[in-house]
Structure 1
Amino acid sequence: MAGAVMAMLCTAVAVFVLFAVRQEIAQDRTQRLFDNAVNVGKQLRRGVQGVDVTPVDASRESVQVVDPAGRVAAASPDMAGKPPMTHLAPDPDAFATASSCGGKVFGDRCVIVLAYPVHRHDGLWQVNVAAPQVPWYVGSGLLVPLGVGWLLLVVAAGAAGSYRIVGRALRPVHTITRELDQITAGDLNHRVPVPAYRDELRELAETANRTLGRAQSAVERQLRFASDASHDLRSPLTAMRTQIEEALMWPHQADWPQTAKALLESVERAQALVADLLQVARLDAGVAGRREVIDMTGLVGAELDRRPCRVGTLAVRRSLVSGVAVCGERIALTRLLNNLLDNAERHAASLVTVTLTLEAGVAVLEVCDDGEGIAPEQREVIFQRFARLDASRARDPDGTGLGLPIARQIAHSHGGTLAAEDSPRGARFVLRLPARATPPPTGP
């Protein structure tokens, strides 16, 4: 904008200068023609013979002397043998000028012609004097400095305007940078100011604020995770310390086999918690094992066949559609299925139902129990880490509260979903994974 304004101003000034200088040169040239015509007229009044019609600048000016009959009586060398250069008929006591381009006399040139009347005793004679017109650009001696000055002024104005405008436009960037520089890992409450105008800088500020919000949420989630993990790890460690101290206080009265059994239970609980924490850390870091096409029907069936001793008196009913395959990590999917089965066994009254179907290219696995069920408002709470409902604490006080969160995170890492949905009785967990083509049999 600054460059455009300066270009218009410079153009206007240049046009004015060219016009003024051209007019001045044209007036000066006309005055020279008049002086030349007056000089020839003085000679002509003394007599036609011996009149010197050679112009002052023979390379640029031409002279003709025309008698009262309209014939050329004398002419400069370049006008010799040519007709009168003009048909102007000035007043007897004045002179006249005209511009002429082309014609038989001057060819393709454009000239200024001055006609000057001379009174003699034999009639009215006329002196015609011509010189080239001043071009619109006057000459390279003026046009080049004007062009260079025009270019320098426009570039300088554009640079200065751009510096000012870009500086004002980028001022919010400096503010955002200053605010971001004040943010530390321990204080993520700061937010960058959002510019008033809806432009790319506003979008940058809003994106930065959303990023800071996500970072703050992630840090708070990590702090809660560390707090909950330390609390859950402290419980089995405290129990083991208490049992050991009691046994050492009365070593002869202690039941060492019973103490060892109690310590083993606490160690198993700590081991399970550490394994869950490791799995959560792997999932948060995006660490994934080798993906392959897995026969989901065979995986679920094999896992159910392997669990009778853990089910106890519960009945397990299965309905598995053959030919259902997914692409994923076998160990992770096995962990997901076991977490769902463990949860169902923990809350079932007498029956656990496992169903596997294929719906529109999606493998659907349902694990249902006939227990107390889950209230609708708590169906998302159970997927939060270390979140345990009262019923879960009563049935399994040693649980970690990480089984269902890990199962959902594994489902998400495989491009699927895991949710607690409506059921006529008990809890119903539904896993949906993108299906793949069934792998070919590997047997002979």
Structure 2
Amino acid sequence: MLDDDRTEGSIWQRCSIRTRLTAITAAVMALICTVVAALALMAVREDVRDHRTKNLVAQAVEITQQVHEKGTIPPLAKTPGTAIQVFDPSGILVAATSNVANAPPMNKLMLRPTGYATTNICDLRAFPGECKIGIYFPFYMPDGMWRLHMAVPDVPWYVSFTVLGLFIVGWILLVGATALAANRIVGRTLAPVDIMTSKLAEITVGDLSQRVPVPWFHDELRRLAERANQTLDRAETAVERQRRFASDTSHDLRSPLTAMRTEIEEALLHPEDIDWDTTARTLLDSVERLQALVSSLLQIARLDAGAPRRHDTIDLAELVTSELALRPRRVTVTEQLTPDVMVTGDRLHLARLLGNLLDNAERHAESNVTIRVTRDDGTAVLEVQDDGNGIPPDKRDIIFQRFVRLEASRKKDAGGTGLGLPIARQIAESHGGTLTIGDSPRGARFVLRIPLCH
């Protein structure tokens, strides 16, 4: 039984939206038509029954009038299913149709003194299993009150096969027309989805420039198409960034490896002329550069992957103090730290951000680096400023791109990777903050803003 249920469910789930909506619409219309048809059939049956009852009363009146006029009981009609009984004042059956000639009165209204009455009569001995519309019609003659009993077939629940056939044909036509209309309407409504699906199937990683067509109507499908195009925009940007990243990474990884290979090959060609201490130090510099590059690449990969970070409560002034205590001083560092500037974030990531800013500042500073920690309108502000040559305004956004190094930076440190500042900005953004370059009378001033801890 469970297997059958799962099979039925899977079949329904495999159906298209168009088929499911058409089936649901047809089922709802079928239910409505069934209810309406049942109510209409009941109303028609009631009308036919009232009409048949009125005819029965008219027949009874006609019989009594003929008895009054002629003084004798006229020949009783022998219509199939009809039964008639006439009783004199003493209760003797004086006339009847053959089917109730030897039967007792057809209904129990014999004690009714005046006025006629209609009733339902079921399971008469002459009509077992059938119901009739019966009438009790008393009328006066000179010798007293006579009683007329009549019964005609009741109206069946379906009224007649013709009426039932009309209802069935109407039911089928309405449900069929509704299903057909629903199928066409849903098909036209979902046509843009089919077009978008076909277009998405054509888009590959090698060509993300294509976009899905946007429908004319400003409805949910238009919003879906717009969101799909926005997603494709982001995907194209991300793939292009990954391609550039892979290209730049391969170049930067190749440089120290090539230098190391050259040193080793030269040492092997002329082992007697090589100063092995110098060679080892040169190789160690290349290894350190390679190690720094790999470490930066791993950090970027973690940030790009959106790896979950810790949510520590951190005092920025205390973080700066502890990090400075671990670093060798190449230049003078001036500290202007406001205590109790608390933020929520990953301590290791923020320490990496601060270290990258300090490395950059010390590389370009002439004699001094200034670090400030302040509050500003619900935001924690960390500034790192050097007294070097500064950064031209038109280059302030470029330096946050990966592997981008300005000419001044290459002269200061030829072994840099160009990843320190991009990593720092990415860490800031992952903490809901910003990292920008502010104006300063001298040197470069990097400004980190992070929401304060509430």
TM-score by length of 2: 0.69
- Which residue does 1:255 correspond to in 2? 275
Cα offset, 1:366, TM superposition: 0.4
Instruction: Give matches, 1:51-200, under 5 Å.
Output: 51-52=73-74, 140-142=157-159, 145=164, 151-200=171-220
Partner amino acid, structure 1, of 2:225: A
8 Å CA contact 2:400–2:425 kept in 1: the answer is yes
In 1, the alpha carbon distance for the partners of 2:324 and 2:450 equals 19
In 2, the alpha carbon distance for the partners of 1:323 and 1:39 equals 114
Cα offset, 1:28, TM superposition: 12
Change (3 A) 1:394 1:131: farther
Cα offset, 1:234, TM superposition: 1.2
Q: Which has the larger radius of gyration?
A: 1
In 1, the alpha carbon distance for the partners of 2:118 and 2:243 equals 96
Measured against aligned partners, the alpha-carbon deviations of 1:179-224 in whole angstroms (never above 9, x if no partner) come to: 2223333332232222222222222222122112211211111111
Partner amino acid, structure 1, of 2:187: G
Measured against aligned partners, the alpha-carbon deviations of 1:145-164 in whole angstroms (never above 9, x if no partner) come to: 36665555443333332222
- Which residue does 1:364 correspond to in 2? 381
Instruction: Give matches, 1:26-425, under 5 Å.
Output: 48=71, 50-52=72-74, 140-142=157-159, 145=164, 151-288=171-308, 290-309=310-329, 311=330, 314-425=331-442
In 2, the alpha carbon distance for the partners of 1:210 and 1:36 equals 85
Partner amino acid, structure 1, of 2:283: L
In 1, the alpha carbon distance for the partners of 2:36 and 2:112 equals 46
Give the match's secondary structure for 2:205.
coil
8 Å CA contact 1:367–1:429 kept in 2: the answer is yes
Partner amino acid, structure 1, of 2:361: A
Q: CA RMSD in A?
A: 4.7
Where structure 1 has 5 or more consecutive residues not aligned to the other structure, the ranges are 64-75, 86-104, 112-128, 438-444
Give the match's secondary structure for 2:334.
strand
Change (3 A) 1:61 1:332: same
8 Å CA contact 1:414–1:433 kept in 2: the answer is yes
- Which residue does 1:114 correspond to in 2? none
8 Å CA contact 1:364–1:433 kept in 2: the answer is yes
Cα offset, 1:333, TM superposition: 1.5
Cα offset, 1:273, TM superposition: 0.9
Cα offset, 1:368, TM superposition: 0.7
In 2, the alpha carbon distance for the partners of 1:374 and 1:60 equals 116
Give the match's secondary structure for 1:141.
coil
Cα offset, 1:60, TM superposition: 9.1
Cα offset, 1:250, TM superposition: 3.0
Cα offset, 1:40, TM superposition: 6.7
In 2, the alpha carbon distance for the partners of 1:142 and 1:402 equals 89
In 1, the alpha carbon distance for the partners of 2:247 and 2:323 equals 34
Change (3 A) 1:141 1:261: closer
8 Å CA contact 1:55–1:62 kept in 2: the answer is no
In 2, the alpha carbon distance for the partners of 1:274 and 1:221 equals 18
Give the match's secondary structure for 1:399.
coil
In 2, the alpha carbon distance for the partners of 1:165 and 1:289 equals 50
8 Å CA contact 1:6–1:157 kept in 2: the answer is no
Change (3 A) 1:40 1:337: closer
In 1, the alpha carbon distance for the partners of 2:49 and 2:391 equals 101
- Which residue does 1:430 correspond to in 2? 447
In 2, the alpha carbon distance for the partners of 1:27 and 1:295 equals 97
Cα offset, 1:300, TM superposition: 0.4
Give the match's secondary structure for 1:316.
strand
Partner amino acid, structure 1, of 2:216: A
Change (3 A) 1:27 1:274: closer
More deviation in 281-290 or 271-280? 281-290
8 Å CA contact 2:45–2:158 kept in 1: the answer is no
Measured against aligned partners, the alpha-carbon deviations of 1:375-432 in whole angstroms (never above 9, x if no partner) come to: 2332211111111122222222221110000011111222222111222222111112
In 2, the alpha carbon distance for the partners of 1:53 and 1:325 equals 114
Measured against aligned partners, the alpha-carbon deviations of 1:128-174 in whole angstroms (never above 9, x if no partner) come to: x9999x99xx7632388366655554433333322222222222222
Change (3 A) 1:267 1:308: closer
Cα offset, 1:7, TM superposition: 7.9
8 Å CA contact 2:63–2:74 kept in 1: the answer is no
8 Å CA contact 1:62–1:79 kept in 2: the answer is no
TM-score by length of 1: 0.71
Identity %: 49
Partner amino acid, structure 1, of 2:420: G
8 Å CA contact 1:356–1:363 kept in 2: the answer is yes
In 1, the alpha carbon distance for the partners of 2:159 and 2:170 equals 12
Where structure 2 has 5 or more consecutive residues not aligned to the other structure, the ranges are 1-24, 87-95, 97-104, 121-133, 135-147
Partner amino acid, structure 2, of 1:369: D
More deviation in 146-155 or 235-244? 146-155
- Which residue does 1:440 correspond to in 2? none
Partner amino acid, structure 2, of 1:261: R
Cα offset, 1:302, TM superposition: 2.2
Cα offset, 1:11, TM superposition: 7.7
8 Å CA contact 2:44–2:159 kept in 1: the answer is no
